Each structure stands twice: as C-alpha cells, then as structure tokens.
Amino acid sequence: MRTAYTADQIRAAEHVLMAGLPPGTLMQRAAAGLAAACAGLLGRVYGSRVVLLVGSGDNGGDALYAGERLARRGARVEAILAGSRAHEAGLAALLRAGGRVAGPGALTRADLIMDGLVGIGVSGALREPYAGLAEEANAARAPVVAVDVPSGVDASTGRVQGAAVRALVTVTMGAVKTGLLVDPGAGHAGRVELVDIGLGPCLPDPDVAALTGGDVDDLLPRPGKESDKYRRGVLGVLAGSDLYTGAAVLAVGGALRAGAGMVRYAGPAEPVAQVRAAWPEAVITLLDRPSIKDVGRVQAWVLGPGLGTGDWAHELAAQVLGTGLPVLVDADGLTVVARDRSLLRRAAPTLITPHAGELARLIRAERADIEAARLQHARAAAAELGVTVLLKGSTTVVAEEPRPVRVNPTGTSWLATGGTGDVLSGVAGALLAQGLGAYDAGSCAAYLHGLAGRLAADGAPLAAADVATALPAAFRAVAAGGA
C-alpha cells in the first residue's frame, strides 16, 4: 500500500528526525536522491545543460546541492535565483563545483529543468516572479523535475490556484505527499519517485493511502472447494427503467463479471427484456409495483442506476435501505436520497458512489468547490451522512470514518463516457455481496474498474460495455502481480 501525508505531518516527522542528526544531513540525503533521478533522466550527464529554479526555502537548497553533484559530473549547471535570498551554503557549493548563476534565456537552452521554487510549506497561488518562472518552465522543451512537490501544487490537498509547474517527474523526499496523489496536483506531478531519507519511523498514521495490485489481490474473495453460487454472494440489482434500459444491463454485467455467485435483477418490463437478452445468467423478477418482496434472498443490493427519481424509486429506496443488508446507492438513487436524507440513517453498511454534482446535492455544496477539494468534501460527506463515500472523478477517492481516505491509482480519461459508472456499481455491489466491507469493496472496485478501463481503451475510445468485458482481464492481471 502506498501511503501519503500532509505537509504538517511531514514537517513534524522531520523535526523529530533532525533532532538526532548532524545539521544538513537530511538536505544532503535529499540532494543525493534528486541528483541520481536527474542523472537517470539525462542519460549522459557530462556536457548536459541543467537549469535550477531556486527559491528561498529548503527546496531551493536541495536543488542547489543536487546541482553541485551534477556539476561535479560534468554538467553545465545554472541557477535562476528567484527568491529574495538563496541557501548560502548550497549556492557556495554549486559555484565551487563550476556552476553559475543564470542569465536571461537559460530555460530555453536547458536539457533538464529542476524546480526548487517552493516546497511543502507554501499554499495558495504562486506570486511573481515564481508564477512567471513556472509558466516559462512549462513552455520550455526540456523535461522538468520537481523537488518534493511541483511549485504551485498544495502538498496537503492537491489544489492548484493559478500557475503551477507541470513536471515529468517529481522526486519527493521521505514520504509521498497527499497532493501528489489527488488531482489536480497529481496531474502536475508526473511520475512520483520517493527518496528515502530515513523518515519512516517518525511518520504518524497516513493521511491517505493508495492500494496496489497486491493489496487488491489480498482483499478479493476467492471461491473454494466448498463454494456454490449462494456462498459466493447473491446480489440484488434495482436499476433501469423504460427510459434507461442500458443502466440495468451494465450494472448486472459489472456484477457478473466481478464474480457474484448470482445476480437477481428486478425491474420494469423493458429493462427486464434487455437484461434477459444480454445476461441469461441473471435471475429476473418483473416488477409491476415497487416492491422487493418477491425478489428472493440476497446478501447486498445495488440501488439506483437509471431507476428514475419519482415515487416508484423512492418506495424501492425506502424498502431496500430499510433492510439490514449492505446497500450501494448510485445515480438516480442518490437523487432520491438527496431529497430524503433520512433514508440513509441506518446501521447496515452503505456505500454511495456520487460524482461531484451528485455529492453537491447530497451535502448542499457547490460542485466547483467539491472538484477543487475532493478529499475535504469526501471526508465531510462520510462524517455528515454516516456512510462510505466513493467520490468518482479524475481522482476517485473512498472515504469512511475514521480511516485514511483511499485514493485510486488506476483509470484512464477514456472512462469519462456514459454508463461506466453503472458498471462500477455492479462491480462494487458484487464485492459487497461476497462479504467485503463498504470501504474495501469500494476501493477494490475502483481499482479493478480503472484497470479494466485502461485495458479496454489501450489508448483509444471505449464504450461502457467494453469495461465490463475487460474485467476478467483486470482480475487476472491483479492475481498475476502485473497490475
């Protein structure tokens, strides 16, 4: 599992570690790792042109000492001193090694740019000259390596307010910062490389975590010799309407492809016909009134995709959420419970899977605010509503009190197409029915769904049904350790 921490957590851990080390030790460790990462990108260090963007803080010192190491290997290193001051010892070391202070036009001549403008202690929009230098670095042809966190990205939240460096690689020191895993910050960070400076024993419980393929493989239920379709989990799906038949087909398909032992689908005549044609494995109940009485025994429910938002949907939501079974609420189901939040007051596990607009309606917030601060609002919604929140988007996050928020590392922008959320609901519902808690079911479903999307797209557009089709390959990749 990959863990990440806020700026305050990192600073506190550094303070503890530095108390037992000679002054400057951590900066030298950071500079060594940073120089090695830059050398790896350059390939041939001797004769290359490296430009350092140097601010007044410790990140500027890291950049200067790393630049010294590259200069001693024959690189032509120039430093643009952006702050009112620079790390004196670091600058002296760079100059002794043959580096120099840069003049105009240095960025256009660079083979590599090192961003040491600001560090984890800075939040909010970059001021000049930092903002202008960030834009110049982004426009340059050379790859950019960010020191610890790209300048302009909030290390604790991933928020970006104004100009921010877009790095090819971010070399982060001691521990991954939360803002490197959450968009928009993650989109500015590029590949994140961690330099071990000895901080591990001093770190507290993480702020956020990201599952690896191995973590998902360990959590997934596996059928045994004594398994049958009932022991493998029976999922009830209430989705689709005469208007939105496809939502039912996709949710059922996601559940079947995710290993549910049986899927019981219940709905009106038109989606029933579509589900029966697409998935003959599903057990079908035709609903002529809003009642779950005749659906049969299930171990979890999926409620909402394409269901509609009228009295019919409200009655079904009230019945399902009135049971003691785990329930996943998505799409139209979220609109229903946003109008009547008392439906969510229940003791059994509840997993909601909103996008930013749906969450905005649920917690009476602005969509733009949620998109700008996904972690904050997912946490707040989990606490306020007493549920597990899977907030979908460019960075999907799973929040459940009092655990660290999980950030999903898989996915592709091609998943931004209609119906993929219905497939995700089916996957997560199947895992709920197989016995995973809402936190693990949501996290594993997001991982597998994102991986299936990546496999299905392979760099090209996809349809939601392609994601369901690719799910077995995603399960196999996780089991084989290749994801």
The dihedral built from the CA positions of residue 127, 128, 130 and 133, taken in this order, carries a sign that is positive
Going along 55-111, which residue ranges are E strands? 76-81, 100-101
Flag whether 115 is marked binding: yes
Query: Is 227 annotated as ligand-binding?
Result: no
Quote the tokens at residue 187: 């989109």
- Is residue 151 annotated as involved in ligand binding? yes
132 annotated as belonging to a binding site for a ligand = no
Q: Does the annotation flag 240 for ligand binding?
A: no
> Is 421 a known ligand-binding residue?
yes
Tell the burial category of 230 from Cβ atoms under 10 Å away from its Cβ (0-12, 13-18, 19+): exposed
Q: The dihedral of CA 162, 168, 171, 172: what is its sign?
A: positive
**Contact status, residue 373 vs residue 159, Cβ threshold 8 Å:** yes
In DSSP terms, which residues pair with 193 in a beta bridge? 171
- Consult the annotation and say whether 174 binds a ligand: no
In sequence order, what are the residues at sequence separation of 6 or more whose Cβ sits closer than 8 angstroms to the Cβ of residue 108? 140, 141
CA 429, 433, 439, 444: dihedral to nearest 10 degrees?
Answer: -70
CA distance linking residue 62 with residue 117, whole number of Å: 10
Q: Is 67 annotated for ligand binding?
A: no
Question: Please, are residues 281 and 263 in contact by the beta-carbon 8 Å criterion?
Answer: yes
Tokens 């003049």 locate to 103
Q: Is the dihedral of CA 467, 446, 389, 125 positive or negative?
A: negative
Is position 60 annotated in a ligand binding site? yes
Residue 293 annotated as part of some ligand binding site = no
| Cα–Cα distance measured from residue 270 to residue 218, given in angstroms and rounded to the nearest whole number | 39
The annotation status of 482 as a binding-site residue, yes or no, is no
Residue 124, annotated as binding a ligand: yes
State how far the Cα of 331 lies from the Cα of 339, in Å rounded to an integer.
Answer: 13
Residue with the two structure tokens 């079911």: 441
Q: Is 393 annotated as a binding residue?
A: yes
Residue 62 annotated in ligand binding: yes
- 277 in a labelled binding site: no
Please tell me whether 369 is known to bind a ligand: no
Does residue 92 sit in helix, strand or coil? helix
Phi, psi (rounded to 5 degrees) for 371? -65, -30
Instruction: Please report, in angstroms and rounded to a whole number, the separation of the first and last CA atoms in the chain.
Output: 13
Residue 169 contacts residue 147 (beta carbons within 8 Å): no
209 appears as a binding residue in the annotation:
no
To the question of whether residue 145 is assigned a binding role by annotation, the answer is no
Q: State yes or no: 392 annotated in a binding site.
A: yes
Give the chain's largest Cα–Cα span.
Answer: 84
**Annotation-wise, does 8 bind a ligand?**
no
- Taking each helix axis from N to C end, the angle separating 374-385 and 356-363, rounded to the nearest 10 degrees, works out to 40
**396 is annotated as contributing to ligand binding:** yes
Give all strands of the β-sheet with 49-54 in edge-to-edge order. 100-101, 76-81, 49-54, 112-116, 144-147, 169-173, 191-195
The reply, when asked if residue 154 is annotated as ligand binding, is: no
Residue whose structure tokens are 């989109």:
187
Q: 422 among the known binding-site residues?
A: yes
DSSP tag of 67: H
59 is in an annotated binding site: yes
- Cα separation, 55 vs 61, whole angstroms: 8
Which residues belong to the annotated binding site?
58-62, 115, 119-125, 130, 148, 151, 247, 306, 355, 392-396, 421-422
- Residue ranges at the known binding site for (6S)-NADPHX: 58-62, 119-125, 130, 148, 247, 306, 355, 422
Report the binding-site residues for K(+): 59, 115, 151
Which segments are annotated as binding site for AMP? Answer: 392-396, 421
